[in-house]
Chain A
Amino acid sequence: MVGAHPGRLVSAREEVLARLRAARDAGGATSPDVPREYRRTGSHPPGSAAAVARLDETLTDYRATVHRVADEDGVSAVIARVLEDAGATTFVAPPGLPARWLAEVTARVRPDAPPLPVAELDRVDAVVTGAAVAIADTGTFVLDARAPDQGRRAITLVPDHHVCVLRADAVVSSVPEALARLDPDGPLTFVSGPSATSDIELDRVEGVHGPRRLDVVLVGPR
């Protein structure tokens, strides 16, 4: 047991670990079995029309604007319209964004290759990305910084308007199903609606430091 006033003869690491070992042994070192009786599969099958419909509801509930299209052929027209409606003349795209999503877009694309400086990102009007997975129960999509159609974290953070394309096959019902699909090694960002705060009288208001406008293009049959 290392004392409380050791004269710093041992490293903090050794001392903290020694204290914690002694404390753990004194307080009990038996691990309980963790009951996993909660639901690990969602109420709707991944990619199902019901899961996509629930995602539409939960996204809308948190002030994202949802646009439904039946298949990927419809994506570029929606992106074009959404950017135009927002008055966006420039947008940043991650290096691997599918070209067909931009076929009808008239706003000028700024590819993030080589990476744009932050000041430059601050001047573009919008960003268009895909997503790794979406969670219908919570109205969340997850961006994987290492995925070519999602890109490094800064590009979905600094521009004030985010347009995210979600394919039905990326939609799951529950949080456990989503985490099982994700790689914890790379930077991930879970996004549920535009930036918001509950800091004034614990009421939620949208629009603080992250993108204040969030459009989601949901691709899949109804």
Chain B
Amino acid sequence: MIVSDIENILPKEQIKENKEQDHLLGNSGVQIIEAYSEEDISKVLAYAYENEKTVNVISGGTKRGYGGEIEKADILLSLANYKGIVEHSVGDLTMTVRPGTTLKEIADELALKGQSVALDPPWPEMATIGGIISANDSGPKRLLYGSARDLVIGLRVVYADGRVIRTGGKVVKNVAGYDMNKLFIGAMGTLGVISEITIKLRPLPKYEGLSLLHFPDGNGQPIRDFSVSLLDSMMEPVTLELLSPSLAEKLTGKSSYTLAISFEDRENAVIAQEKWVRENLPAGVELTVLHQEEAKKWWEDFRRIGPNGYNDEMNEGTTLAALKIGSNNLDVLDVLQTAELLAETHHVAMEGHGGLGHGISRVYIKGQQENTAAFIHALRGKAEEKHGYVVCTHLPFKLREAVNVWGERPTYFALLEGIKKVNDPKRILNRKRFVGGI
């Protein structure tokens, strides 16, 4: 069937012309199409594929500033209203959910049965599970619970031509065929549109505690030494997240490098681990301990930092940027200290945090555009010296032209290109959103 007119395949109330001027973050579309079902997604893609129309995909919009060199595609396909939990199998600790469901909606519903999705990226009220998986977003708790690649067990994906392909399954252990799930996690929607996600769950912790260790100014050696000894102990921290002084000030009122160490377990076990922290506390370090609701509240605040796609300041010149830095686990300290120094020399404001047990840091920048671009360039140089990388997870569209969002192409780029070509030969999906212009 050749469909030349989208109005013939979807009700017209699902289609609207985009009257908006250029969006600050780009990744927009001439026509905005709302999908209410997998079938809708499939129809839109089949139409776009036939007619070689480009399609950008959006749901919560929190990652609109993440990659993308095209201001407006032909179509902006919104999944924001394709939401809801399809199945929650309590005894199997699994859930199947539609992509437009926000993480908060999922968490609230699962909590009724004492379970949760062990992902803690920022802005849970706005970020949808589809976007989180597509961007492979994560938070400090990945230290113990892993990231999306450890949790997703099955997907339904609408390929560029409208085919619906299932990957993985609904069981927690499965090696039948290639582990195709992995291809779509973090692919920024360039290989297909995820239309359903099956994910492993965890029981909600019986008890939780948060120890905040405020280190005095000076060198980072005590932070490193303490972290090494905690990691080398048999304690099981859920987070070992280091906050820059600027971020610590915002969240704790104390402007010093701060380690946020969470424990989640039976109450006895949490208390025993907090005792270990107290007994091994380096000299001069101030300790704050929060439990249960207080600890939860602190993490809720933590998850409301950084840009979310809607809180950019529109004044000329100043810009918000977010960076994800990957490094060796213990180099996180170095990453944050380097970022702090570079922020000073490049005249930008910086807040940052990173996990000393998992190697992912986040740095948020506010400043003049040219300073921001120079800062990113300098930080990337430093990170790469130690085999790390810098990816820009949020930048205004205009700045994305000046800064390479993903860094240099990997040496095996031909494989990535080959995979893209197999799944989306006409390159209609989120064109130029990913590494090397894929």
A binds B: no
Enumerate chain A interface residues (CB-CB to B < 8 A).
none
